[in-house]
Structure 1
Amino acid sequence: MSVFPVQRSSDGEDPRFTYGLALDVARVLASHGYPDLTNPAVARGGDLVNLQDALFLFIYGPKEKL
């Protein structure tokens, strides 16, 4: 049984989901030999946004259709 995705709060806010979370994950990826998205010489604008999107989808699941 999986624990993710987790339930979203009714107001859609979660103080744990920050830009810093994506940076921490980016650093872990870099420590395993992947491109270092925290290095301005390496990172491209969309890479961190894509990482945040992937984390959001993993943590909270797909958005419900309205």
Structure 2
Amino acid sequence: MNDREYPISPAPDDDARFTFGLTVDVAAVLQSHGYPKITAGGDLVDLQQALYRFLYVGDRGDR
């Protein structure tokens, strides 16, 4: 039995919830927990890609 909620399947072609603002909000939460502030654009892009993989792709090893 699989009780996981993520990744969301099927991945929507255009999910209005997945915005740059979401990435900035997650970065702020990380900082509030003691992680370094994300200041470089490349770090924000990497974080956004990681969020996308978590939300929509998942671990390809479990498929």
State TM-score, norm by structure 1: 0.77
Identity %: 51
1:8-57, CA deviations, whole angstroms, 9 ceiling, x for partnerless residues?
Answer: 12xx10000000000000000000111112xxxxx112100000000000
Name structure 2 gaps, 5 residues minimum.
Answer: 59-63
Aligned-CA RMSD value: 1.1
TM-score, normalising length: structure 2: 0.81
Structure-2 residue corresponding to 1:17: 18
Larger relative contact order (Cα-Cα within 8 Å, sequence gap ≥ 6): 2
Describe the SS at the equivalent of 1:15: coil
Q: Which runs of 4+ in 1 moved over 6 A?
A: none
